[in-house]
Structure 1
Amino acid sequence: MIDDFITKLKKRIDSGLPGPAAHKHMSPSGRTTGPFRANDYAESKKASVLILMYREDNVVKFVMIQRPVYNGTHGGQVSFPGGKIEDYDASPWNAALRESEEEIGINPDEVKFVAELSSLYIPPSNFFVYVFIGYMLEKPVFIPDRKEVESVIEVPVQILLDSTIKTIMDYKRDKLQITVPCYRIQNKNVWGATAIILSEVEELLRTL
């Protein structure tokens, strides 16, 4: 049952989050992983993302999305459902649910809160991101918003324990080409903030 896995995961999280110690494994060279400077938070835009878990055919999975290609910082990238926190959102958790409903069509009333993971500051877009894990008792029916979601990616959690999915990729930014660590999942490169967040999930799974 998904509840058994979630109970173990919550118990592990309650014992303490890996945080920056895990983040550094998938952070580009030279990136600061914490602690945050006070002005990073004060001057940043705020966002929330949801790591949504569920069970399908006795396999626990989580969902990511691939953004459409556009002329912007995160165009074409793989990420978690989520987005900017609006003034009318009751909390960062509510913002994560709202954005997930808008992007992949889930029913937020069916999502159960598990935990908040370590927050993350993203310098290129100046976003301070809250990270949440939630779960659903049954596999959701995804209805992606095609303006925001190119594809929905369903990932077995155990794949994060496979060290062969970790690799590096070249990324061009501001006329500079840099090499960054990434996960190779379902023929897609998962890097940047999403990979950094996944590195904490990976560490939690390794120490369940």
Structure 2
Amino acid sequence: MSKPILKTGPATPVGATEFFDRSKARLRFDVPPGLYDPNIVPLSGDPGTDKMLEIIAREQPVRPAAVLIPVIDRPEPTVLLTQRAAHLNDHAGQIAFPGGKIDAIDAAPVDAALREAEEEVGLSRQFVEPIGYLDLYGTGFGFRILPTVAKVKPGFELTINHSEVDDAFEVPLSFLMNPANHQVHSKEFRGMERSYYAMPFAERYIWGATAGILRVLYERIYLS
């Protein structure tokens, strides 16, 4: 993230039309050099998290990844999220966006995000209108994630790939973009305190990189 992780602001209502208009005006498809350059460490604005990312960058190779933030253009817009399969080695059972590693076959990060969304949940590209990239997001596992915000037309049918995903579900955009639902938790990493976001929704515990990226979306679209 490019802004302080603990930044707060009002819960300003933004309708569907205004949300998509703001997104199109503020987001671009410029690929940040830090996605591939190990000498550029993505900043979160939280000192503990930034220090952790600096340590991880020295210890692990850069792992470029892309995710799709599918905002479904319903009367009340929703965000499509997944629950990763329980048998996976990394982040088993966690709430995530469709996405994954950027492969050599992908012409751009947005292509990786669209490909992964098709592979994981069967979201057809014909329903997806990519809008632009958010800021680069670094994780404690060495991933450099470039999120693509996209407008999704209703009427699609999903096919869950259970080798990767256990479930797919929608959460109201208004819930995710309300700072009253943005909890800040902390965890120790090698003697340093680092902060992270959590946005519990019903029985779903949205946290870590997924919640952090949603917070970036809020700051870019609602606070800028």
TM-score by length of structure 2 reads 0.72
CA distance in 2, matches of 1:33, 1:173: 10
Indicate how the Cα distance of structure 1 residues 147 and 170 shifts in structure 2: closer, same or farther if over 3 A, else same.
farther
CA distance in 2, matches of 1:140, 1:33: 42
TM-score by length of structure 1 reads 0.77
Letter in 1 for 2:21: T
CA distance in 2, matches of 1:122, 1:100: 20
Task: Name the structure 2 match of 1:50.
Answer: 68
What pairs up with 1:37-186 in 2 under 5 angstroms? Answer: 43-56=61-74, 58-70=75-87, 72-124=89-141, 126-167=142-183, 180-186=196-202
Letter in 2 for 1:44: V
Contact 1:54 1:139 in 2 (8 A): no
CA distance in 1, matches of 2:197, 2:117: 26
Task: Name the structure 1 match of 2:3.
Answer: none
CA distance in 2, matches of 1:76, 1:9: 30
Gaps of 5+ in 1: 15-19
Q: How many aligned residue pairs are there?
A: 193
Residue 33 of structure 1: how far off its partner (Å): 8.2
Contact 2:27 2:131 in 1 (8 A): no
CA distance in 1, matches of 2:186, 2:140: 19
Deviations, residues 15-67 of structure 1 (Å, cap 9, x unaligned): xxxxx89x55xx6x721189979x67x931211100011223x1111111111
CA RMSD of aligned residues (A): 3.4
Contact 1:36 1:121 in 2 (8 A): no
CA distance in 2, matches of 1:80, 1:196: 12
Report whether the alignment pairs 1:8 with 2:22. Answer: yes
Contact 1:59 1:156 in 2 (8 A): yes
CA distance in 1, matches of 2:51, 2:131: 24
Report whether the alignment pairs 1:32 with 2:50. Answer: yes
Residue 203 of structure 1: how far off its partner (Å): 1.8
Query: What SS does the aligned partner of 1:185 have?
Result: coil
CA distance in 2, matches of 1:72, 1:173: 21
Query: What SS does the aligned partner of 1:47 have?
Result: strand
Between the aligned residues of both structures, percent identity stands at 26
Task: Name the structure 2 match of 1:193.
Answer: 209
CA distance in 2, matches of 1:167, 1:140: 32
Query: What SS does the aligned partner of 1:98 have?
Result: helix
CA distance in 1, matches of 2:123, 2:51: 31
Gaps of 5+ in 2: 1-14, 29-41
CA distance in 2, matches of 1:164, 1:34: 27
Deviations, residues 78-115 of structure 1 (Å, cap 9, x unaligned): 01000111111111111110000001101113311201
- The structure whose residues are more often strand, as a share, is 1
